[in-house]
Structure 1
Amino acid sequence: MKQIIRLIFIILLSTGSLKAQESFTIRGTVFNAKEEIIQGATVFIDGSEKGTATNAKGEFKFANIKPGTYKVIVSMIGYASTKQNVIIQDQSASLTIHIKEKATVLREVVIGNDSQRKENIKIFLKNFLGESGNAKKCKILNLEILDFSTIKTILEATSDDFLIIENKSLGYRIKYLLRNFRYNKGTGVTSYDGESVFENLAGTEEEKSTWIENRKKAYQGSLMHYLRSLYKNNLRQEGFITLEVKNNSQPLQLAPNPVNMEQYINTVDSNFIQLKFKTRLYIVFDKENALKANDHDQNGTITKMMGKDGSIMRLFLDDAIIDSKGSYVDYRSFFIQGFWGGKRIGDQLPFEYN
């Protein structure tokens, strides 16, 4: 009997050890160009709820990190923000990060142009936050830090500090470090780059219940949802139909049979997959019909307009390396159009969402 108890105890210890090995630590120290320790710098993991400040020794630490790809950002007043990509596979990471002093830029003060700034802000909010129901309930609390410039038909925006965004629909306060924003008034094309960290808003039990439901709706059918399902190889079970696009214009000419995405996936290791394909893919989230979609060989094509719910995805690079969070190593990996392309900050969720 004692031997059985001892055996059970050993098994429990082994199981606990395996579970402990599933999470790791990202720690580091921040210096300036003179190798001086920087205290009080803001350090966060992009797209997450993990943020902190360096201590008196310039040190920071993030615990409970699962294997995957991460982007660590350091920001400090008077210094240019710095980012460092970190890939966690089977061990913790220790970083040494140097930040450089930011050059002082004297900006021209424009007087008597308040109407133009209001118009610029209107364009920025529409194309940065988005136009969804969630986006319409977002508010940027410090719009005064935005700087605008115009070159012909291009509107650009930058900021020297975090934009503070309250999303009353999803229950988050987002600190967004905007690197650049560009809107082409001629083509209507928007591009922006930056990093974000999330905090949960305080709320009543009723508000929290609403946020849980709204977050679920924002996640369902999102790019994050698709890539996580791709990683788990259960796209159809999760409600996604993927079809090959045969042409480059509207209306779309689609292959009639759903694509078996498994043929485009290679397992890198236990934590990452490689996605590699050369075609354009049309993707729609249709929970009701995904498992009913015909897998048998059919001839011809399906003619279809893009619609509000469809997305087109192609690789911008040769491949994409994806982890279980739905994150990809290089932000340039994909070119996205349609439904996903229209999703902006107002519908963004942190990668902790599950």
Structure 2
Amino acid sequence: MIRFILTLLLLSSAIFTGMAQQTFTISGFVKNSKGEPIEAATVFIDGSQSITRSTKDGGFAFKNLLPGTYQVVVNMMGYQPVKQNTNIQAISPVLDIRMADKAIILKEVVIGNNAAREKFMKIFIKNFIGESGNAKQCKLVNPQIIDFSTNKKIIEGVTDDFLIIDNQSLGYRIKYLLRNFRFNQATGTTSYDGQCIFEELEGSEAQKAVWQENRKLAYEGSLMHYFRAFYNNQLREEGFLTYSIKNGVNPMQIDPRPVSLDQIAYRADSTFVTIELPSRMYTVFDRKKAASADRNMDKESLEQYMEKTGSIMKPYLKQAKIDAKGSYVDYRSFLISGFWGRKRIGDQLPYEYQPR
């Protein structure tokens, strides 16, 4: 069991406070397989509002970035998309990105498959964009670019270009580079992989005020909110309680006593908090309960939270590193289900978002 060393925590917090005012730049060059510069490639930071195009010499730069983990993505017609993880701690990284030519594959034209495509599209919208109130106000602008295929009970979808989603509830246009979408019709499980960029929609001042309120509601209790609270050692202050799941099957057997942060995490440096989960964890979001003296969880409460804000986090890797903006270094770190698992693209916010 991992525990905080108080002096290390105070020292690390002091270091981070000093570094919080310091910003960095991610820069680099985009080249083809021969080392020649590629001009006008789209370069963006996944999950953010930071986007640019490469210059004549292939150069690009993102300035004023805080320490943390970032995934730089490059897309250009005729080339395979490239994503590169980079961590900022003490210096501004310079990336050398090489793009491989994309093989041209002639697509099979299937006549009379409109009914099947309509079915696949309904499944895609439900499981990719979601079913929440925010998701229902999303418009898929260019659904025709999705290529669907089936293999037994698996429905798959990919795109060659950005899928565009206008979220009229949160005020964002989301451009999503979909690498793979998979829906298992036998089990009802969904997985998808890709990178996205957020753009502000235009609207009146009254509309922007509504968007701000909706964004705040979407943020409350979200996975981003949880990880930011985790990083700042403010889980209970922010309304989160985490419990250990004692068994590996359902129905869950939960230790009624909430887990303290020093049992599952430590701060190794000023940029990242490292999480080590010994087992599955169950987290609820309830500001009133988190502030009360009795934070234990009984069976009846468990069942109530499962229908509301209860989330299950299963460790996939031994460790996970979290930064201040609520991002984790390796997307494979956790398997998420419950409340967080039900939140799809229609409820997502960019990393630049800060509640007011």
Output the TM-score relative to the length of structure 2: 0.91
For 2:322 and 2:252, the matched residues in 1 are separated by: 28
Aligned counterparts, 1:234-245, within 5 A: 234-245=234-245
2:148 is aligned to: 148
Q: Which moved more, 1:51-60 or 1:247-256?
A: 247-256
Structure 1 residue 308, shift from structure 2 partner: 3.3
Q: Which has the higher strand share?
A: 1
For 2:259 and 2:217, the matched residues in 1 are separated by: 25
Output the TM-score relative to the length of structure 1: 0.91
Q: Which moved more, 1:65-74 or 1:278-287?
A: 278-287
Q: Specify whether residues 280 and 42 from structure 1 end up closer, same or farther in structure 2 by C-alpha distance, changes over 3 A only.
A: same
For 1:20 and 1:291, the matched residues in 2 are separated by: 29
SS at match of 1:290: helix
1:213 is aligned to: 213
For 1:72 and 1:239, the matched residues in 2 are separated by: 32
**2:336 is equivalent to residue 331 of structure 1:** no
What one-letter code is carried by the residue in structure 2 that aligns with 1:340? W
Structure 1 residue 289, shift from structure 2 partner: 1.3
Asked whether the 8 Å contact 2:162–2:178 carries over to 1, the reply is: yes
What one-letter code is carried by the residue in structure 2 that aligns with 1:189? T
For 1:178 and 1:231, the matched residues in 2 are separated by: 29
SS at match of 2:262: helix
Aligned counterparts, 1:233-272, within 5 A: 233-272=233-272
**2:227 is equivalent to residue 227 of structure 1:** yes
Asked whether the 8 Å contact 1:27–1:62 carries over to 2, the reply is: yes
SS at match of 1:230: helix
Q: Specify whether residues 82 and 293 from structure 1 end up closer, same or farther in structure 2 by C-alpha distance, changes over 3 A only.
A: farther
Structure 1 residue 86, shift from structure 2 partner: 0.7
Structure 1 residue 143, shift from structure 2 partner: 0.6
Q: Render the CA deviation track for 1:107-136: whole Å, top value 9, x for unaligned.
A: 110111111111111110000001000000
Q: Which moved more, 1:201-210 or 1:271-280?
A: 271-280
Asked whether the 8 Å contact 2:221–2:309 carries over to 1, the reply is: no
For 2:130 and 2:317, the matched residues in 1 are separated by: 26
SS at match of 2:244: strand
1:175 is aligned to: 175
Structure 1 residue 246, shift from structure 2 partner: 2.0
| Structure 1 residues not aligned, in runs of 5+ | 1-17
Greater C-alpha radius of gyration: 1
For 1:160 and 1:271, the matched residues in 2 are separated by: 35
Q: Larger relative CO (CA 8 A, sep 6+): 1 or 2?
A: 2
Q: CA RMSD in A?
A: 1.6
Structure 1 residue 319, shift from structure 2 partner: 0.7
Structure 1 residue 278, shift from structure 2 partner: 1.0
1:3 is aligned to: none
2:43 is aligned to: 43
1:273 is aligned to: 273
Asked whether the 8 Å contact 2:171–2:201 carries over to 1, the reply is: yes
Asked whether the 8 Å contact 1:78–1:102 carries over to 2, the reply is: yes
Structure 1 residue 106, shift from structure 2 partner: 1.1
What one-letter code is carried by the residue in structure 2 that aligns with 1:331? Y
Asked whether the 8 Å contact 1:43–1:60 carries over to 2, the reply is: yes
What one-letter code is carried by the residue in structure 1 that aligns with 2:307? G
Asked whether the 8 Å contact 1:258–1:294 carries over to 2, the reply is: no
